[in-house]
Structure 1
Amino acid sequence: MRPDIGTKTGKNVKVFMIISIILLTAFAGCTTKEQTISTPGGDLKVSQGSGSGPAWCKTGTKMTMTGVNGQQGSYEIKGIVNYEGREVCLSEYVGDEGSMEQYFSQDSSYMVMITKDKSGKIINKLDMSQPK
């Protein structure tokens, strides 16, 4: 196995997660009930949440992904929470290989991603916040 494969995959996952946040946030206020989007990488099914919270962080808004290779994952907004002294939106991605919690502000100036393996053990914590 080439040593750079894991690095590329890790970068791809981070980019995918950021794009997922943007898409989910964009669709949260626009999706009527459920919408399916076909992409070269697979199908995305987006459904609007019916829970509390502002449109950009509506509890229960969910995106389910099915890749062309059969891998599946879901990304769901859990709602506004207090994390490290900030009121931010919490979302969670759960896939075949583990999960990722994301804490982010509406303007995306604050974003923390916590990656966990299948057993729930923290693998990585990445702060992608913009410098002040």
Structure 2
Amino acid sequence: MSGTLRLTDQEKREVFFERFNKLIGYVEQETGSQIKLEINEGAPAIYNDPQLIDTLQKNMQNNFWLPVQVVDDFRTPGGDDFSHYSNRVSGAMVRFGVRSESMTYSLHEGLFDVSPKTLRIAVSFFLHQIINL
């Protein structure tokens, strides 16, 4: 049996594995079986530095032409290599909504495409942040 566990909080992830190991112990004891558990932890949950998020938001207040809506507590079960960095140094993962009525392909499909408007917004956002950090 195999599966994927995705949690947005590293502490909850550790608690889950602790409890899951206890459950396995109970099952082994009750059934006289031996269970081998292999855990490939993958990427940790992404940590967005609250101070950096605050700075990014303040920088955007002076950029009224850029239509950016900030979602303060956005969490995703997706893993990303970026999380290895943001758990060690100040970081923030920024996402841009790219789906439209005419564009319905998933992010991981070969036909997925980002609109030029979204690219302009993303590039403008990051340039504005670089200039103002």
Q: Which TM-score band applies after superposition, normalised by the shorter structure?
A: under 0.3
Question: Larger relative contact order (C-alpha < 8 A, sep ≥ 6)?
Answer: 2
Structure number with bigger Rg:
2
Higher helix share: 2
Higher strand share: 1
What TM-score does the superposition give when structure 2 sets the normalisation length? 0.24
What TM-score does the superposition give when structure 1 sets the normalisation length? 0.24
